[in-house]
A and B are shown apart, each in its own frame.
Chain A
Amino acid sequence: MLTKYLCMFFLGLMLLVISNLQAATIHVPDNYKTIQEAVKNASPRDTIIVHEGYYTENIIITKPLTIESTKGSDASIIHAAVQNEPVLKINNVNEVSISGFTVTGSQSAGIYLYNSHNGQLRGNKVVNNGSGIVLISSNNNTFVNNTANLNEQYGIYLELSNNNILEKNIVNSNKDKGIFLSSSSYNELINNNVNLNAWNGITLWSSHNNLLKDNNILRNRYGIVLSDSNNNILTNNSTWSNIYAILPIVLIYIGILLYLVQKHLLRFI
């Protein structure tokens, strides 16, 4: 009987130790000077807390980790050290969470997910890269409150990626397309702002059964473009591509009418 209790006690103790190991928190630059060094030395499911600073590096993540900044994206900036590599590459891994960074300076991609699933990107600013956020063969990821602006090609690009949720993201002023889904299905694009992109706001190419809901898609060359795509649901999206051309003309016309009204009114006074 005593042996049984001792076994249970040691088993519990081991579980406690293991769970503590799993919940380790690493601070950058206190524990490691670079984020990549922290990633390299972290165990799966560790949390890496990055304090404010300017980090010049390319980070490759191949284990499930949570990487967070302490003071948000304006204070924690990651700039590509090698410009033709992604700033953050999440490669063949599940459940990576990244939040609160400015990611910039790559001619390839700001954040690149390859064959990575169930991840989360929250509150990141991915600006001035080749493309902003790129997903290849990555499913069930959630992107919320990210900004993907001023990238040379696409703001957010999904290829062969399914069941992802893109919510409340800002995708503005990219030099090609805003959000591009290529051969990607069952994704949900909800309440995103996709404005001022040089070509299409949202493009679906050979992508099926996606939901586009409550998105603002203003002042792009074309609002929503669907090509070879079936069974997509589009509800309550605003696509006022040409309002900036029409509105001033309407206002000047109203001005002329108001002048005539005022002149006639003054005659009676």
Chain B
Amino acid sequence: MFEIATILASLGLILATVSFISGLQALKSKGSADTKIHRFNGYLTLIIYLSLAILSMSGKDGIKIGSVSAWCGGLAIIAMKIWIVRSGRAYKYASWMGIILIIMWLIIIYTNIQLGSMSFLNL
């Protein structure tokens, strides 16, 4: 019924949600179980993101500049979020970055809902 990209994108949004909530909780209580949950789900989300990017670019439409820019932009947002957390500014900016990441996953979901032979936005 669903294409593999739809399943991966759905899994990505679920894990991004887990990572977002646990990240917010981890800000309140450092060194807790939430940090482990946040990291574990965060890295899984990153792997899914990269898999989706590879799937998208190895599709029948081939590599498009728009598609590559969009996926690289998303990767830059993820990298920026990791950099903000590691540079100790998590308390100030991480929640915003988390919201941006959730929005990014919503866009990925919209682009990957199965549509017969066509994918919305053709990303």
- Does B22 sit within 8 A of A, measured CB to CB? yes
- Does A254 sit within 8 A of B, measured CB to CB? yes
- Does A10 sit within 8 A of B, measured CB to CB? no
8 Å CB interface, A216-269 against B: 216, 218-219, 243-244, 247-248, 251-252, 254-256, 258-259, 262-263, 266-267
Excluding A172-B115, A193-B116, A255-B13, 6 further A-B contacts by CB distance (< 8 Å) are: A247-B10, A247-B109, A248-B106, A259-B17, A266-B33, A266-B36
**Size class of the contact patch on chain B:** 20 to 34
Is B18 in contact with A259, judged by CB distance below 8 angstroms? yes
- Does A196 sit within 8 A of B, measured CB to CB? yes
Contacts of A262 in B (CB 8 A): 18, 22, 37, 41
Contacts known (A247-B113, A258-B14); A193 close to B118, Cβ less than 8 A: yes
8 Å CB interface, B22-52 against A: 22, 33-34, 36-37, 41
* Nearest CB of B to A14, in Å: 50
Q: For the complex, what is the distance from the CA of A243 to the CA of B110, rounded to whole Å?
A: 10
Is B116 in contact with A218, judged by CB distance below 8 angstroms? yes
* Nearest CB of B to A215, in Å: 9
Partner of B16, one of A193, A244, A255: A255
8 Å CB interface, B70-119 against A: 102, 106, 109-110, 113-118
Is B115 in contact with A218, judged by CB distance below 8 angstroms? yes
- Does A185 sit within 8 A of B, measured CB to CB? no
Contacts of A248 in B (CB 8 A): 13, 106, 109-110
Q: What is the count of residue pairs linking A and B with beta-carbon distances less than 8 angstroms? A: 76
Contacts of B115 in A (CB 8 A): 172, 193, 195-196, 216, 218-219
* Nearest CB of A to B91, in Å: 20
Is A170 in contact with B17, judged by CB distance below 8 angstroms? no
Partner of B118, one of A172, A254, A259, A266: A172
Is B118 in contact with A255, judged by CB distance below 8 angstroms? no
Contacts of A252 in B (CB 8 A): 13-14, 17, 102
Q: For the complex, what is the distance from the CA of A195 to the CA of B115, rounded to whole Å?
A: 7
Q: For the complex, what is the distance from the CA of A79 to the CA of B39, rounded to whole Å?
A: 54
Contacts of B37 in A (CB 8 A): 259, 262-263, 266
Residue of A nearest to B15 (CB): A255
Contacts of B114 in A (CB 8 A): 218
8 Å CB interface, A19-52 against B: none
Contacts known (A251-B13, A263-B33, A266-B37); A256 close to B21, Cβ less than 8 A: yes
Q: For the complex, what is the distance from the CA of A263 to the CA of B14, rounded to whole Å?
A: 15
Contacts of B20 in A (CB 8 A): 255
Is A254 in contact with B14, judged by CB distance below 8 angstroms? yes
Is B118 in contact with A251, judged by CB distance below 8 angstroms? no
Contacts known (A247-B109, A248-B106); A255 close to B117, Cβ less than 8 A: no
Is A193 in contact with B106, judged by CB distance below 8 angstroms? no
Contacts known (A251-B13, A259-B37); A216 close to B116, Cβ less than 8 A: yes
Contacts of A251 in B (CB 8 A): 10, 13-14, 17, 109
Residue pairs across A and B with Cβ atoms less than 8 A apart, 15 shown, are A172-B115, A193-B118, A219-B115, A248-B13, A248-B109, A252-B13, A252-B102, A255-B13, A255-B15, A255-B17, A259-B21, A259-B37, A262-B41, A266-B36, A267-B33
